[in-house]
Amino acid sequence: MNRMQSDLAIARSAPLKPLDEIAASMGIGAQFLEPYGENVAKIKLQAIEELASRPKAKYVVVTAITPTPLGEGKTTTTVGLGQAFKHIGKRATIAIRQPSMGPTFGIKGGAAGGGYSQVIPMELLNLHLTGDMHAVTAAHNLLTAMVDNSLHQRNPFGLDPHNITWRRVLDVNDRALRNIVVGLGSREDGVTRQSGFDITAASEVMAVLALATSLQDLRSRLGRIVVGYTRDGDPVTAEQLKAAGAMTVIMREAIKPNLLQTLENTPVLVHAGPFGNIAHGNSSVVADLVGIHGGDFLVTEAGFGADIGAEKFFNIKCRTSGLSPDAAVVVATVRALKAHSGRHKIIAGRPLPPALLEENPDEVHIGGANLRKQIENVRLHGVSPVVAINAFPGDHPSEHEAIRQIAEEAGARVAVCTHFADGGRGATELAEAVAEAADEQVEFRFLYPDDASLRTKIETIATKVYGADGVAYDLAAEKQLETYERNGFGKLPVCIAKTHLSISSDPTLKGAPTGWKLPVREVRANVGAGFVYPICGDMRTMPGLSGNAAATSIDIDADGEIVGLS
């Protein structure tokens, strides 16, 4: 049996087209490109206005069932679908987030897709790209430095040192930095206080980058960032600290989307990488405003399962961009649905339980409760769902048939995909099903209106999307909600921070749990990004490295080529 080449080897052997040709296929002239080397370019924001007269593409979001440690292949499916449209005579553009180097060097690996459905150059995508992550890091930390400097300079805004919400960020997994004390030393070394680091993807600056619609909108949003509160509970902003202008200067190039291509030369817009838990987990609005006029279809991806990434795509990103989705793909695998039966213990980085690989369509049906709920979550927003069965070599036909039955009974189209091994031609059935779904009359709707109270918004998502019986608020959370309403933040959408490993707030509960309440222990406001986020459970915003981190396998060979990247 022939062993498939590594992702890196496949990526390096692919013939790339000049980027001006890739851009031209989207209707973008060379005058709007700023090359970064030979195979990556930034797109000037003026291209949005230039493309506005072109027809709008069908807008498709790729989401999934609740993630498992196995990985469901959502990015690979996004890329495979984008490539597949060419095989059925359609033109597509793909829009995805930029990977964080934390997971790349951690346990997850890169996020360029896989097999024969990848974005290339794979090394550049996963490592720095055009420096947007570093710009976010620098802009964020500049604001932190100005917060601490304001405290040192006699605290003119009356910031309460015990109620400063703005931490520092770094694009590396480093658990030792989760909680730190700053300002140790002499009086000239600053005010001593407790703080910490988050990973760059969790920065509100990253969320702002993903939701800004223009450079001036970026400037306004950065100015609205709240860094902490006075002892009277009044917010102190980046604008008051006179930091927003310099932050925007740092972000001036980062707001331009990055243009790459797939193995089959489909255009890919890679831009922004907000966390999928505490932020909205979607690529940028400006990339979509470019891509929506770039062909017949714009295929984008939402982080984690449909209860998290897709819900936030619908109710936060689409509310900001003004774009309405025409169809949603829900990625599912046999192995993941078996995992949702609750009968197997799966640990990332360890061999799979042998029983998981045995033919057992009954287990697929048990775990199928999760798929049914995620299909329902898409339908709640008036969007047509298409289930993509991401096929693996060890799957059994009876198990694919079980997924097909679950999907069709829930009223969703379904297609089996082999895009990992076969590239675009392995996802043509999916492309045809998506094209049919996108042609249906869509009555897209938000889950709640802007003027609903923050409590109503939280409870609507909890009961309708998560299947909870209600919401249980800690006293601190109730007081925070009252403060935010009083400060004029009540019209913002909510971005619930909860585990991605369950539709519920308990990561151990599989399938589609019922009979539970959503516990809201704290509520924070990302006023610059434009949402309020209730925290439901223990959210890690700075991951740690595992005992077998991917960084230990990554190196440079004698020819200066990267090895070990996956």
Which band of pLDDT confidence, cut at 50, 70 and 90, is reported for residue 563? confident
Which band of pLDDT confidence, cut at 50, 70 and 90, is reported for residue 459? very high
- The pLDDT of residue 1 is 41
Residue 563 counted as domain residue: no
Residue 213 lies in domain: 137-251
| CB-CB contact of 97 with 283 (8 Å) | yes
- The pLDDT of residue 108 is 58
pLDDT in tens, 248-275: 999 999 999 999 999 999 999 999 999 8
- The pLDDT of residue 117 is 97
> Looking at the structure, do residues 356 and 286 belong to the same domain, yes or no?
yes
- The pLDDT of residue 109 is 63
- The pLDDT of residue 6 is 87
> Looking at the structure, do residues 157 and 123 belong to the same domain, yes or no?
no
> Looking at the structure, do residues 345 and 380 belong to the same domain, yes or no?
yes
- List the single range of 11-20, 265-274, 351-360 with lowest mean pLDDT: 351-360
Q: Which whole number is the average pLDDT over 104-120?
A: 83
- List Cβ neighbours of 497 (8 Å cut-off, separation of 6 or more): 277, 278, 533, 534, 535, 536, 537, 539
Residue 413 counted as domain residue: yes
> Looking at the structure, do residues 477 and 513 belong to the same domain, yes or no?
yes
Q: Which whole number is the average pLDDT over 301-306?
A: 94
CA-based nearest residue to 189, from 147, 152, 162, 156: 152
Q: Which of 187, 218, 251 is the last residue of a domain?
A: 251
Q: Binding-site residues for ATP, please?
A: 68-75
- Distance between terminal CA atoms of the chain? 22
Residue 506 has pLDDT above 50, yes or no: yes
pTM passes above 0.85? yes
> Looking at the structure, do residues 270 and 413 belong to the same domain, yes or no?
yes
Residue 201 counted as domain residue: yes
Tokens standing for residue 40: 């990556």
Q: Which whole number is the average pLDDT over 82-108?
A: 91
Tell me phi and psi for residue 310, to 5 degrees. -70, -40
Which band of pLDDT confidence, cut at 50, 70 and 90, is reported for residue 351? confident
- The pLDDT of residue 499 is 94
Average pLDDT, the chain: 94
Residue 130 has pLDDT above 90, yes or no: yes
- List the single range of 181-190, 274-283, 363-372 with lowest mean pLDDT: 274-283
Cα gap 171→498, rounded to integer Å: 22
Q: Which of 251, 272, 297 is the last residue of a domain?
A: 251
Cα gap 192→110, rounded to integer Å: 38
- The pLDDT of residue 560 is 83
Q: Which whole number is the average pLDDT over 125-130?
A: 91
- List the single range of 118-127, 279-288, 444-453, 525-534 with lowest mean pLDDT: 118-127
- The pLDDT of residue 546 is 81
- The pLDDT of residue 376 is 98
- The pLDDT of residue 415 is 98
Residue 320 has pLDDT above 90, yes or no: yes
In percent, the amount of the chain with pLDDT more than 70 equals: 98
CATH code: domain of residue 463 = 3.10.410.10
Cα gap 493→334, rounded to integer Å: 35
> Looking at the structure, do residues 290 and 433 belong to the same domain, yes or no?
yes
Judged on CB neighbours under 10 Å (0-12, 13-18, 19+), 379 is middle
CB atoms within 10 A of CB 566: 16
| CB-CB contact of 310 with 63 (8 Å) | yes
> Looking at the structure, do residues 323 and 369 belong to the same domain, yes or no?
yes
Q: How many domains does the chain have?
A: 3
Which band of pLDDT confidence, cut at 50, 70 and 90, is reported for residue 152? very high
> Looking at the structure, do residues 398 and 289 belong to the same domain, yes or no?
yes
CATH code: domain of residue 144 = 3.30.1510.10
Residue 540 has pLDDT above 60, yes or no: yes
Residue 562 counted as domain residue: no
Residue 488 has pLDDT above 80, yes or no: yes
Residue 556 counted as domain residue: no
Cα gap 168→142, rounded to integer Å: 9
Which band of pLDDT confidence, cut at 50, 70 and 90, is reported for residue 71? confident
Residue 2 has pLDDT above 60, yes or no: no
- List Cβ neighbours of 447 (8 Å cut-off, separation of 6 or more): 311, 314, 315, 380, 381, 460, 461, 464, 465
Q: Which whole number is the average pLDDT over 147-155?
A: 97
Q: Which whole number is the average pLDDT over 495-507?
A: 95
Residue 448 counted as domain residue: no
CATH code: domain of residue 335 = 3.40.50.300
> Looking at the structure, do residues 288 and 381 belong to the same domain, yes or no?
yes
**3-state secondary structure at position 173:** coil
Residue 550 counted as domain residue: no
Which band of pLDDT confidence, cut at 50, 70 and 90, is reported for residue 5? confident
Q: What angle do CA 513, 515, 517 make, to 5 degrees?
A: 95
- The pLDDT of residue 115 is 92
> Looking at the structure, do residues 495 and 426 belong to the same domain, yes or no?
no
Exposure string of 85-114, with b = 16+ CB inside 10 Å and e = fewer, is: bbbbebbbbbbbbbbbbbbbbbbbbbbbbb
pLDDT in tens, 336-347: 999 999 888 887
Which band of pLDDT confidence, cut at 50, 70 and 90, is reported for residue 8? confident
- List the single range of 350-359, 363-372, 404-413, 515-524 with lowest mean pLDDT: 350-359
- The pLDDT of residue 12 is 87
User: What are the helix (H) ranges across 14-73?
Assistant: 19-25, 46-51
> Looking at the structure, do residues 244 and 344 belong to the same domain, yes or no?
no
Find tokens 């940028």 and name the residue: 284
Q: Which of 205, 222, 251 is the last residue of a domain?
A: 251
> Looking at the structure, do residues 47 and 164 belong to the same domain, yes or no?
no
Residue 466 counted as domain residue: yes
Q: Binding-site residues, please?
A: 68-75
Cα gap 440→220, rounded to integer Å: 38
Tokens standing for residue 96: 């995805």
Which band of pLDDT confidence, cut at 50, 70 and 90, is reported for residue 437? very high
Q: Which whole number is the average pLDDT over 359-371?
A: 96
